[in-house]
Amino acid sequence: EVYHRQIIKALHDKGIRLREHITPSRLLQHLALIGLGVLFGWLMHAALVYIESITWGNNGVIIFGYLPVFPLCMFGGLLAQSLWRRLGFELSREIIEIISSLALSVLIMTAIGTMSLQFLANNAMVFLLLYLTGVIWILGSFIFLARRMFKRYWFQNAIIDMGQSMGMTATGLLFAQMTDPKNRTNAVEAFGYKQLLFEPFMGGGVVTAMSMPIILLIGLPLFTALCAVIMVGWMCAGLFYFGKH
The pLDDT tens digits for 174-214 are: 788 788 877 788 888 888 888 777 776 776 667 776 787 78
Listed range (7-11, 187-191, 232-236) with the worst mean pLDDT? 7-11
H/E run at residue 147? helix 146-149
pTM to 2 decimal places: 0.58
Per-residue confidence at 46, pLDDT binned at 50, 70, 90? Answer: very high
Please, which contacts does 162-170 make with residues 24 or more away whose CB atoms are closer than 8 Å?
A: 162/138, 165/134, 165/138, 166/134, 166/135, 166/138, 168/111, 169/195, 169/203, 170/104, 170/107, 170/108, 170/111, 170/112
Residue 90 has pLDDT above 60, yes or no: yes
- Tens of pLDDT along 57-88? 777 777 777 777 877 888 888 899 889 888 88
Task: Give the pLDDT of residue 2.
Answer: 44
pLDDT of residue 42: 93
Mean pLDDT of the chain: 81
For residue 40, pLDDT over 90 is answered with yes
User: What is the distance between the alpha carbons of residues 84 and 62, in angstroms, rounded to a whole number?
Assistant: 34
Domains in the chain: boundaries: 1-115, 116-190, 204-244
Confidence of residue 114 (pLDDT cuts 50, 70, 90): confident
Q: What is the mean pLDDT of residues 104-124?
A: 74
